[in-house]
């Protein structure tokens, strides 16, 4: 059985994925942004092993989450599920002076990838909106552009695919893939979202734990356990390297 960390698993798709894996007898470690949420997550996913705690909008706390995870020993897979949505009407600034949506959706994912000891598999949650992201990677922190919450979200979901593909290229011993769960009626997606909520967590669980040949690939993008074409820019090595370099500069954490 696999040992899997799921970030952002206090509710939504992360919690749903954790429940599926516990039901399949996998060992699951949860993550929540504070102690209260961690207790709620543990109660909501009975049978989970433990929870790590930290606010991923903070570089310092994200680094601490990585330390907590490394202190627990080896993992077979990490599902980078934590994220915030596209409805921020203004540029909300974090303790590090970064846009909230970028700090959580892009930079924390990079920092955790760089600092947590390599698992066998990495799974990154993206969105179909990644195709509308800005592949130029200019003004990542929205200091020059007028704020647009939807565009900022799309940018970060493109970053997640770029990161998944960069890791696949640089770490051939790790299976690294990205996926879109669909537009589903979660807290992020909203009550009117049309896609199947029951199907939404299954692809990340499959990529993290399945021994099927279709799941044991790297550098691919999925929707409902089937490969789907991603934005072509995400496969460009120079774009991958630029994102890694910018994330290293902004976080102070070099890519290993």
Q: List per-residue pLDDT tens for the chain, 256 residues long.
A: 999 999 999 989 999 999 999 999 999 999 999 999 999 999 999 999 999 999 999 999 999 999 999 999 999 999 999 999 877 889 999 999 999 999 999 999 999 999 999 999 999 999 999 999 999 999 999 999 999 999 999 999 999 999 999 999 999 999 999 999 966 445 454 455 445 557 789 999 999 999 999 999 999 999 999 999 999 999 999 999 999 999 999 999 999 9
Q: Cα 198 to the chain's mean position, in Å?
A: 19
Question: What H or E segment, with its residue span, contains residue 42?
Answer: helix 35-44
**Could you tell me if 125 and 80 are in contact, meaning their C-beta atoms sit under 8 angstroms apart?**
yes
Cβ-count burial of 27 within 10 angstroms (0-12 exposed, 13-18 middle, 19+ buried)?
A: middle
pLDDT of residue 199: 79
Query: Over the Cα atoms of the chain, what is R_g?
Result: 16
Side-chain half-sphere exposure of 77, counting CA atoms within 13 A: 31
pLDDT of residue 118: 98
Record the pTM. 0.94
Compute how many other C-beta atoms are within 10 angstroms of the C-beta atom of residue 151: 17
pLDDT of residue 85: 84
pLDDT of residue 49: 98
Backbone angles phi, psi at 24, to 5 degrees: -90, 10
Question: What H or E segment, with its residue span, contains residue 37?
Answer: helix 35-44
Task: List beta partners, residue 176.
Answer: 122
Closest CA to 240 of 141, 168, 181: 168
Q: Using CA atoms, how far apart are residues 225 and 232, in angstroms rounded to an integer?
A: 20
Q: Which residue has the tokens 């909520």?
A: 197
**Could you tell me if 212 and 131 are in contact, meaning their C-beta atoms sit under 8 angstroms apart?**
no
Q: 149-170 and 237-251 are packed helices; what angle lies between their axes, rounded to 10 degrees?
A: 110
**Could you tell me if 105 and 156 are in contact, meaning their C-beta atoms sit under 8 angstroms apart?**
yes
Closest CA to 95 of 68, 62, 120, 128: 62
Query: Known catalytic residues?
Result: 153, 157
């Amino acid at each position: 059985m696999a040992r899997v960390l799921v970030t952002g698993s206090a509710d939504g798709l992360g919690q749903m994925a954790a429940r599926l894996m516990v039901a399949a007898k996998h060992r699951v470690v949860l993550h929540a942004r504070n102690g209260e949420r961690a207790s709620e997550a543990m109660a909501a996913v009975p049978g989970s092993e433990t929870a790590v705690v930290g606010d991923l909008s903070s570089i310092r706390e994200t680094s601490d989450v990585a330390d907590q995870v490394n202190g627990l020993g080896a993992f077979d897979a990490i599902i980078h599920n934590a994220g915030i949505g596209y409805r921020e009407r203004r540029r909300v600034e974090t303790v590090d002076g970064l846009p909230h949506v970028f700090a959580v959706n892009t930079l924390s994912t990079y920092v955790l990838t760089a600092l947590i000891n390599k698992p066998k598999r990495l799974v990154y949650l993206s969105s179909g909106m990644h195709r509308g992201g800005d592949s130029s990677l200019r003004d990542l922190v929205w200091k020059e552009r007028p704020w647009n919450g939807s565009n900022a979200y799309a940018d970060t979901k493109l970053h997640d695919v770029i990161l998944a593909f960069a890791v696949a290229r640089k770490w051939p011993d790790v299976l690294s893939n990205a996926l879109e769960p669909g537009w589903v009626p979660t807290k992020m997606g909203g009550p009117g979202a049309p896609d199947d909520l029951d199907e939404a967590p299954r692809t990340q669980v499959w990529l993290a734990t399945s021994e099927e040949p279709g799941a044991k690939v790297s550098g691919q993008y999925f929707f409902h356990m089937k490969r789907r074409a991603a934005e072509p820019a995400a496969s460009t090595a120079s774009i991958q390297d630029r994102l890694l370099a910018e994330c290293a500069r902004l976080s102070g954490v070099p890519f290993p």
